Structure 1
Amino acid sequence: MKYVIGIDGGGTKSVINIADLNGKIISRGLGGPTNIKSASLDEVHTVLKELMENAVSKSGLLIDDCASVCIGTAGVHELKGESDVAALIKSIGIKGNVIVTNDAEIVLAAESKDVEGVVLIAGTGSIAYGIDRYRKRYRSGGWGHILGDEGSGYYIGLEGIKAALKCYDGREPYTELLPMLEQEMGVLNVEV
């Protein structure tokens, strides 16, 4: 039986869906991160191989019968990310069509009946991404944790730690984040 694979790849986890050619979901699975900006190509290959082989095996299908794979994952539009990820997927045994795009594109495709739309992603990273009626693409953010992922899990966590430490130093008013940080670290005070 011919089938298709869709993968939503993130910086923390990836989700796979296998569907028949009519769009009926056959199998779902979870795996590790597939963002090539935060993991090596070897690590991403290992995650993709395990993710795809487990989902295909669980559904009783054969990898040779896969008609197409679409993966939307953060970090692929820089340098030669799309071709690198496509090569990784082909090396797993996929003979069908392989589409590699960013994670924002697949959200727009899934949620918008029209070509145009806007999506805000706030996961491990963050990005605002849109496509207008002329198919022109726009983005804001999504530059990674060093250059700016405001609104991301990483950014929010880091800002919380900074606020707790400034409170400890006496540079900011008291915040409940300080005892929460100490508890999470398993210490009586943050200097330990």
Structure 2
Amino acid sequence: MDDVKVVLGVDAGGTSTRAMVASPDGLRAARASGPGGNPSARGVEAACAAIAGAVTRALEAYGGGPEIAAAVLGVAGHEPFLTGAGREALLRALPVAGARLQVVGDVPVAFAAGTPEPSGTVLISGTGAVAAAIEDREAVAIADGLGWLLGDRGSGYWLGRRAAESVVRRLAGGEPDTPLTHLIVTAVLGHGPQKHGPQKHGLQKHGPREHGPREHGPQERGPREHGPHEEGRSLANAVIRSLQSAPPAAVAALAPHVGTAASQGDPVATEIVTEAAALLAETVAAVRRPGDTTPIVLAGSVLTTPGPVREAVHDLLSRRWRAPIATAGSGAGAAAWLAARTLLGPAATPAHPLLVTSGADE
């Protein structure tokens, strides 16, 4: 194949879009990123623009005016791109004329980011959570992925919401705060509980007359002997007000604090981690047959980031299934490898680790 012909891989999610341009053998690659390219979240026009921008920058980074021979676009919320006006808009936005082009969902791409095998199971936990059984690199059964309001158990949103819920209940109930309290309050309000009194931890230690009624508004009507409870309730209300107006992604952004607090021995955070891992393992069990020995791929920011959640999920899955468990690498690299397979077939297998690892998503 002429060395100026390249393959293109795109991993377009709700938060960001990553593109990779590479030689089919994986020995040379360039990548670029941009805003989210999920058409369901951002609209078809904005998604097309985001994907096209990332692709253009990746081509420029590769240099030499390469021609795209094959492309695989993994797009979350991809349905509008598969048929009709959405697909046409995408084709017009990309320099893919004459290329072998596939537009697929993000689930098969996430699986390929962890293994070159054709079949297995992928568990994704990022802002949302979903598991899928993969056969011949296509999703044949899916569990969860029902959205932040009704599903996505064990996802970043679920972790963030559970952490915030636990913190505000403890604050409102006058219970001693834990490291998780400090982390969540600081993340939401920009300052920790210690800003409301001389103690860094233990809001219950504050005396009833440390703050005047003007600082607490309606709380001044409570019994004076419960001053610490008033302060906790006031702080809880501030957290509630902030999160009620926040988008789901902002709630999901609280998830890493759960792992941090659990690593510090916080019992509240540890309980949340244990529950999240159990829910994610249940989601896998919904699509995976007993005794299955095909690979399990862990994908999404919650499971690709080292920490207590990934460790707990890995432990549960390894105890239930005697199967290799891999952590996903670059989604854009995996999509580029899938594109290379359309040109080279099984001969593209050696390029898999090169593309998935060298393009590790940042």
* CA distance in 1: counterparts of 2:61 and 2:117, whole angstroms: 34
Give the corresponding residue for 2:59. 56
Give the corresponding residue for 2:71. 69
Give the corresponding residue for 1:4. 7
Give the corresponding residue for 2:88. 87
Give the corresponding residue for 1:146. 149
**Mapped pair 1:115 → 2:161:** no
> 1:151 Cα deviation (Å)?
2.1
**Mapped pair 1:191 → 2:237:** yes
Matches within 5 A, 1:17-36: 17-36=20-39
- Percent identity reads 25
SS of residue matched to 2:14: coil
> 1:173 Cα deviation (Å)?
6.9
* CA distance in 2: counterparts of 1:4 and 1:85, whole angstroms: 22
Task: Name which structure has the greater RCO, CA cutoff 8 Å, separation 6+.
Answer: 2
In our comparison, the structure showing a higher alpha carbon Rg is 2
SS of residue matched to 1:105: helix
Provide the TM-score with structure 1 as the length reference. 0.83
SS of residue matched to 2:103: strand
Deviation string 1:56-77 (CA, Å, 9 cap, x unpaired) is 11212437x2122211122224
* CA distance in 2: counterparts of 1:24 and 1:89, whole angstroms: 28
Deviation string 1:19-46 (CA, Å, 9 cap, x unpaired) is 1233334201222222222222222122
> Going by fraction, where is strand more abundant, 1 or 2?
1
* CA distance in 2: counterparts of 1:100 and 1:51, whole angstroms: 16
SS of residue matched to 1:49: helix
Q: Which runs of 5+ in 2 are unaligned?
A: 196-234, 239-362
**Alpha carbons of structure 1 residues 107 and 94: separation in structure 2 relative to 1, 3 Å:** same
AA aligned to 1:191 is: N
> 1:16 Cα deviation (Å)?
1.5
RMSD: 2.7
Deviation string 1:132-181 (CA, Å, 9 cap, x unpaired) is 47x77011112222231122222211221111111122197744333222
**Alpha carbons of structure 1 residues 180 and 108: separation in structure 2 relative to 1, 3 Å:** closer
**Alpha carbons of structure 1 residues 98 and 171: separation in structure 2 relative to 1, 3 Å:** farther
Deviation string 1:71-123 (CA, Å, 9 cap, x unpaired) is 1122224xx34236533431223212321111111133344444211111112
Of the structure 1 ranges 53-62 and 171-180, higher mean CA displacement relative to structure 2 is found in 171-180
Task: Please say if residues 20 and 55 of structure 2, whose CA atoms lie closer than 8 Å, have aligned partners that are also in contact.
Answer: no
AA aligned to 1:56 is: L
> Going by fraction, where is helix more abundant, 1 or 2?
2
SS of residue matched to 1:149: coil
Task: Please say if residues 132 and 142 of structure 2, whose CA atoms lie closer than 8 Å, have aligned partners that are also in contact.
Answer: yes
SS of residue matched to 1:106: helix
* CA distance in 2: counterparts of 1:36 and 1:119, whole angstroms: 23
SS of residue matched to 1:23: coil
Matches within 5 A, 1:103-182: 103-132=106-135, 137-170=140-173, 174-182=177-185
Task: Please say if residues 122 and 134 of structure 2, whose CA atoms lie closer than 8 Å, have aligned partners that are also in contact.
Answer: no
Task: Please say if residues 107 and 139 of structure 2, whose CA atoms lie closer than 8 Å, have aligned partners that are also in contact.
Answer: no
> 1:53 Cα deviation (Å)?
1.0
AA aligned to 1:178 is: T
Task: Please say if residues 81 and 90 of structure 2, whose CA atoms lie closer than 8 Å, have aligned partners that are also in contact.
Answer: no
AA aligned to 1:73 is: V
Q: Which runs of 5+ in 1 are unaligned?
A: none
